[in-house]
Amino acid sequence: MTSEKVPTLEARIERWPIEGNFTISRGAKTEAVVVVAEVTHGHLTGRGECVPYPRYGETPEATLEAILGMTDAIGGGLDRLALQSAMRPSAARNALDCALLDLEAKQGNRRIWDRLGRAAPVPCVTAYTISLGTPEAMAAAAAKAAHRKLLKVKLGGDGDGLRIAAVRKAAPDSELIVDANEAWSEANLAQNLAACAQAGVTLVEQPLPAGQDGPLANIRRPIAVCADESVHDRASLSGLRERYDAVNIKLDKTGGLTEALAMADAATAQGFGIMVGCMVATSLSMAPAMLLTPMARFIDLDGPLLLKRDRDRGLRYDGSLVYPPEAALWG
């Protein structure tokens, strides 16, 4: 018999169908594959969700194994702060970190932002993603979403000038940000930035591959450039200021909300703008990231909007607004 005094850990892989498909420069997918961790202590259970990302060598199976590998440590009383050194930054650590934070909030009977001494999140504008495709297909998608205040446009290299011009024409009143997902090159960098500036784009995410982004320090950037794949946690901020104006903070990269909040503080102190990003996932992945929104200029937490269905008691979306999570969901 398991004592109620001993925390227990469970985890599982879940698959959530995407509405249509989600396409970026690296490929397309039709479902979101997530891993959920649950830490139970007595009658209370904390939950966390992560998205293993192949770009960083992660798979759902290996992530599940990494989480379950912490079973004895969790049972022995490993807390959230000790977790930071017990696991490397990863999707697996994110799921566990968020589960422990959720449990901490329930045990204290207070919302997690109050326990952490952070500003309470409020309803905020989130981006809505336009997948990569032909200029015609992207224009059609943008026209359907033209009522939204902020659109995030996935680009992919050659022909991006035509794509962004088509999207702008279809959504003349929306603020546009662009995500190239490392697909540009030094040869087309200036041309593509100019095309985005011409279309009134506010921000470009990760135009060049991580590790090959040095040219960004040597050109005049007509619009703000945001690091995504080039930045993961606080340790990766060093040396980026000459190349980037902002950083995209994602909990699956930082290895959880604990590091993400510390990273946001450090990035702000170093003069970076803050973007809060996400993978395609359910509201359980988005909810912890809402604690970062008071510090962010750009918020991209539209993952559940891209799914055929979301979790029960998921985040509330009202047009372009996303609302803070209810305690029944997380935190």
Going across the sheet that includes 317-318, the strands are 124-125, 321-322, 317-318
Select from 124, 125, 129 the least CA-distant residue to 141. 129
* Measured distance CA(226)–CA(96) in Å, rounded: 28
CA diameter of the chain: 67
* Interatomic CA distance for residues 95 and 80, integer angstroms: 11
Q: What strands, in cross-sheet order, belong to the sheet with 273-276?
A: 128-130, 150-154, 175-179, 201-205, 224-227, 246-249, 273-276, 298-299
Question: By C-alpha distance, which of 121, 186, 148, 153 is closest to 25?
Answer: 153
Q: Tell me if residue 169 is catalytic.
A: no
Question: 108 in helix, strand or coil?
Answer: helix
Q: Which one from 106, 152, 250, 253 is the annotated catalytic residue?
A: 250
**How far apart, in Å, are the Cα atoms of 40 and each of 44, 107, 111, 227?**
6, 11, 18, 36
Give just the sign of the alpha carbon dihedral 231, 33, 30, 300.
Answer: negative
Contact 203, 275 (CB under 8 A): yes
Half-sphere exposure of 274 (CA within 13 A, CB side): 23
Decide if 250 is catalytic: yes
**Distances from the Cα of 188 to the Cα of 172, 198, 213, angstroms:** 25, 15, 13
State the pairing for strand pair 298-299/273-276.
parallel
152 to 172, 203, 276, 296, 308: CA distances (angstroms)? 14, 9, 13, 15, 20
Which residue in 154, 169, 253, 308 is the catalytic one? 154
Give the catalytic positions in this structure: 154, 250
